[in-house]
């Protein structure tokens, strides 16, 4: 099953471009590798190694149980204790991220497909960085949603991309801001130019108040809607307990979004959107890829 999933990633230009971007941004270390591994590595993995890892790492001491619904705390604890028991486990550790970006500046992969794929990004912020909420709002302005700049300009106004969006990748000690676009191979250069123009605009110009308010409303509204479901509320609390320095209530998260100012966005954009930090991956048919490669090598 896992091997089939890996093969599907490699066959799909959009998925494959994301795998290559991990390598371009994070290099040869663990963060630069596909989480599923590769086919040779999985085939060579002994069953005992899998069993030992499970027995060591999946222990009550390493588990967060979050419950949302008509259940009091004492009953929740009793149910979790009966289901999982008690016991220690190995404390999870991770290899520190290298200085970013750690891989090649430009990766071109050729696939004989009708659509080309662009992935462009810069190193961003660790998970609990003080500017993490400012980055979330900045991402909302840039490319998260149908009212974002990338969607309205690159897709709707200029007609350069079938789809285009941005997203934030965050880890305990590193992160990235990533733009992805599916385009006609003949429009690769124009699309790349248009995306870079939007990054430069966020770096060089304050975001207007109405646009900032729209991004805040988009992020806050999404949070509020998700928290109406017990499943999402439990996921919100459990995810924070497992991954973050502190657990925020919905009201505290909304306050974090509300206090973001245009100068915060411009400052973060100025720190992140630097030419030397950019990493680009393109998956495209051979001729289109060669044309873009020649263009990027010009002085």
Reported pTM: 0.91
| pLDDT of res. 112 | 83
pLDDT exceeding 90 applies to what percent of the chain?
68
Q: Is residue 203 predicted with pLDDT exceeding 90?
A: yes
d(C-alpha 40, C-alpha 72), whole Å: 48
- Across 52-61, 67-76, 159-168, 240-249, the highest mean pLDDT is recorded for 159-168
For 207, the 3-state DSSP assignment is coil
Q: Is residue 299 predicted with pLDDT exceeding 60?
A: no
DSSP state of 103: S
Spatial CA neighbour of 167 closest among 157, 152, 180:
180
d(C-alpha 32, C-alpha 22), whole Å: 5
Residue 70's region, left for phi above 0, alpha for psi from -120 to 50, else beta, is beta
Q: Is residue 266 predicted with pLDDT exceeding 90?
A: yes
For 26, the 3-state DSSP assignment is helix
Q: Is residue 298 predicted with pLDDT exceeding 70?
A: no
Structure tokens at 36: 């599923």
d(C-alpha 192, C-alpha 293), whole Å: 12
Q: What is the band of 11 on the pLDDT scale with cuts at 50, 70, 90?
A: confident
The CA angle 298-108-44, to the nearest 5 degrees, is 150
Q: Could you tell me if 236 and 64 are in contact, meaning their C-beta atoms sit under 8 angstroms apart?
A: no
Query: In b/e form, how buried is each residue of 224-260, taking b as 16+ CB within 10 angstroms?
Result: eeebeeeeebeebbbebeeeeeeeeebeebbebbeeb
Q: Which CATH superfamily is domain 104-296 in?
A: Metalloenzyme, LuxS/M16 peptidase-like (3.30.830.10)
Q: Which of 59-63, 91-95, 144-148, 280-284 has the lowest mean pLDDT?
A: 91-95
How large is the average pLDDT for residues 160-165? Answer: 97
Q: Which of 93-97, 122-126, 196-200, 275-279 has the lowest mean pLDDT?
A: 93-97
The number of residues making up the chain comes to 299
| pLDDT of res. 9 | 67
| Helix (H), strand (E) at residue 121 | strand 116-123
Q: Could you tell me if 226 and 236 are in contact, meaning their C-beta atoms sit under 8 angstroms apart?
A: yes
Domain residue spans of the chain: 104-296
Locus of tokens 């619904």: 69
| pLDDT of res. 81 | 87
pLDDT exceeding 70 applies to what percent of the chain?
94
| pLDDT of res. 179 | 98
Greater confidence (125 vs 14) lies with: 125
d(C-alpha 185, C-alpha 116), whole Å: 5
The CA angle 192-123-207, to the nearest 5 degrees, is 65
Q: Which of 82-91, 113-122, 246-255, 258-267 has the lowest mean pLDDT?
A: 82-91
Residue-wise pLDDT for 145-157, tens only, equals 999 999 999 999 9
| pLDDT of res. 64 | 87
How large is the average pLDDT for residues 7-11? Answer: 73
Strands 106-110 and 116-123: unpaired
How large is the average pLDDT for residues 5-12? Answer: 75
Structure tokens at 83: 């289901």
Q: What is the band of 295 on the pLDDT scale with cuts at 50, 70, 90?
A: low
DSSP state of 62: G
| pLDDT of res. 86 | 76
Q: Which of 99-113, 245-259, 277-291 has the lowest mean pLDDT?
A: 277-291
For 107, the 3-state DSSP assignment is strand
Q: What is the band of 3 on the pLDDT scale with cuts at 50, 70, 90?
A: confident
């Amino acid at each position: 099953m896992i091997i089939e999933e890996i093969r599907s990633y490699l066959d799909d230009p959009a998925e494959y471009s994301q795998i290559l971007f991990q390598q371009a941004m994070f290099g040869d270390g663990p963060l630069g590798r596909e989480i599923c591994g590769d086919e040779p590595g999985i085939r060579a993995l002994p069953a005992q190694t899998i069993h030992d890892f499970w027995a060591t790492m999946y222990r009550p001491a390493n588990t967060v149980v979050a419950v949302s619904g008509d259940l009091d705390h004492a009953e929740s604890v009793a149910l979790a204790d009966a289901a999982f028991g008690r016991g220690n486990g190995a404390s999870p550790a991770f290899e520190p991220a290298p200085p970013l970006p750690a891989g090649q500046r430009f990766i071109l992969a050729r696939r004989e497909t009708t659509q080309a794929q662009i992935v462009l990004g810069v190193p961003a912020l660790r998970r609990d960085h003080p500017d993490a909420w400012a980055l979330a709002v900045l991402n909302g302005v840039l490319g998260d949603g149908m009212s974002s700049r990338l969607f309205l300009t690159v897709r709707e106004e200029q007609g350069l991309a079938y789809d285009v969006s941005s997203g934030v990748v965050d880890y305990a000690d590193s992160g990235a801001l990533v733009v992805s676009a599916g385009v006609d191979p003949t429009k690769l250069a124009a699309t790349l130019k248009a995306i870079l123009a939007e990054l430069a605009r966020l770096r060089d110009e304050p975001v207007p108040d109405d646009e900032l308010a729209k991004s805040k409303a988009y992020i806050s509204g999404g949070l509020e809607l998700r928290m109406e479901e017990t499943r999402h509320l439990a996921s919100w609390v459990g995810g924070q307990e497992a991954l973050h320095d502190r657990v925020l209530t919905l009201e505290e998260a909304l306050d974090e979004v509300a206090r973001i100012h245009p100068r915060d966005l411009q400052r973060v954009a100025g720190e992140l959107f630097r030419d030397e930090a950019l990493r680009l991956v393109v998956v495209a048919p051979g001729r289109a890829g060669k044309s873009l490669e020649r263009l990027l090598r010009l002085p």
